[in-house]
Amino acid sequence: RKLWTHFNLSFMVFGILLVILGNLPLALVFYNSSRGNLKYNGLLIVSMFLLALQLGGLVSNSYIESESEVCVFLSVTLSGTLAWKNLNTSFNKKVQIACLVIAVCSRMAGELGPTHWDRGHEALPGDSQQAWFWLMCVLPLLSFVILGTMVGKVFNKINEPKKNCTLLPDSHVEAVFLTQIAMGLSFWYCQTLSKEFNESYCLFVLWQARIVYLLGIYGIGYAVYNSLDRVTLLRFFLVPMMLLTGPGSPIIFILMFLQMFAYAYVFVVMDIDVPTRIVAWAITPILYFYASGHGCTIDKIQVASAFVGFLENEWIRAGVMLFLNQFGIHMVFTLSLPVILHQTQINSNNGRGKQQFLIERLNFALSGYSLIFAARGLVTICFVAAQRRHLMVWAIFAPKYVFELLFMLAIDFFVLFTRYSTRFSSVTA
């Protein structure tokens, strides 16, 4: 009975030492690249305090159960801090509006998250003629076109003008993107209709989702082959990720991308320090992980995502789709991390000095981002080791322990991929 009711403490201590030793090289990279990127000021203190609060929430079963609310509080607090900094420096109305957008999106995402997702109910439930269906599904999808155009214009003003540096760089890519949106919208619409149709209709509905996946793969390959910018590359993940991430994903994803855009605008206009950008980028994906109906328990795994567009079970394909469903939001934030590192001061640098500055800046951001999730995993291991005989160890602490370590491994993989993908190309892409 003793063996089956609590963890082995010696194994837990070994795991703690293994995590610490495994992240020492990452800490060395972070330290070596901190020169010029780490500035001690009030905003840094607030960011570190918020990060400490987030880590402290992992040592309480009550806060573990309500981590989504904790992330909403942290996100709103950070947006308020940025707005206060804007008031006390050079006041900018657009920055104040962006900070308000961050707070509103965080609050709405914390309230609109779905609670369950069964196979056969892949879309928003109810009658497609209801007004809320168009409000929750059609308008967000159309808003992505407007939002995408806004993002492209902003980053065109930030970057030096160069070829293929817009969100919709040419008519060919625009056609692929709009076709993805049309197919995704049609798929959701058909899912709200009656399920009792003939086999041909079912295949028609399934192939709509499959065409979205194929267009996404084609668009990513086209963007990589033609060396398009990172924003254009990430856009092809948009509609496939919405199909794979639950029934409430249209409105959740429009809030997520709107908040990402608002953060990027505030960071660039106010020249926010890199540590604050990293902390904001580490808090937000956790918020939308919970807002999309996920959770750190086995019953919250959305197995239905493996069958969006398919009826049969294939282990490799289903595994990839389930992986994207579980870690796709973290993947989008990690791959987009270089996009938020723009800073106006680098225009004063030129030649090799500028490139070296950008490389150190990218190393600092990626290593710091990975260390935050490593710290989450380490705190969780220590807490589970201390509470190994607790009554709720198998109901709350053990699943949280497993999920946090999976997040740590997934983030490490995404960070390595992001660093490798920018190794031989412009860091600002």
For the chain, 429 residues long, give each residue's pLDDT as a single digit of tens. 555 556 677 888 888 899 899 889 888 988 888 876 777 788 889 999 999 999 998 888 888 888 888 999 999 999 999 999 888 877 788 889 999 999 999 988 888 765 444 444 443 433 344 444 445 555 555 555 555 555 555 545 444 444 444 444 456 677 777 788 778 777 776 765 655 555 666 777 788 888 888 888 888 888 777 777 777 777 788 888 888 876 555 677 778 888 998 998 898 888 888 899 999 999 999 999 988 888 888 888 888 888 888 877 788 888 888 999 899 899 999 988 888 886 545 444 444 566 777 788 888 889 999 999 999 999 998 888 888 777 777 878 888 889 999 999 999 999 998 888 765 344 444
Q: Give residue 277's identity as a one-letter amino acid code.
A: R
As a whole number of angstroms, the distance between CA 29 and CA 12 comes to: 27
User: What does the pLDDT read at residue 349?
Assistant: 46
Question: Among residues 293, 231, 276, 279, which one has the least CA distance to residue 257?
Answer: 231
Question: Among residues 167, 269, 259, 268, which one has the least CA distance to residue 219?
Answer: 167
User: What does the pLDDT read at residue 80?
Assistant: 92
User: What does the pLDDT read at residue 418?
Assistant: 87
Angle at 220 between CA 214 and CA 221, to 5 degrees: 90
Number of continuous H segments (helices) and E segments (strands) in the chain: 17, 0
DSSP 425: S
| C-alpha torsion sign, points 282, 287, 290, 296 | positive
* CA end-to-end span of the chain: 57
User: What does the pLDDT read at residue 216?
Assistant: 85
Burial class of residue 296 in the structure, from the number of CB atoms within 10 Å of its CB (0-12 exposed, 13-18 middle, 19+ buried)? buried
User: What does the pLDDT read at residue 73?
Assistant: 93
Q: Give residue 36's identity as a one-letter amino acid code.
A: G
Tokens 């249209």 -> residue:
250
Three-state secondary structure call for residue 223: helix
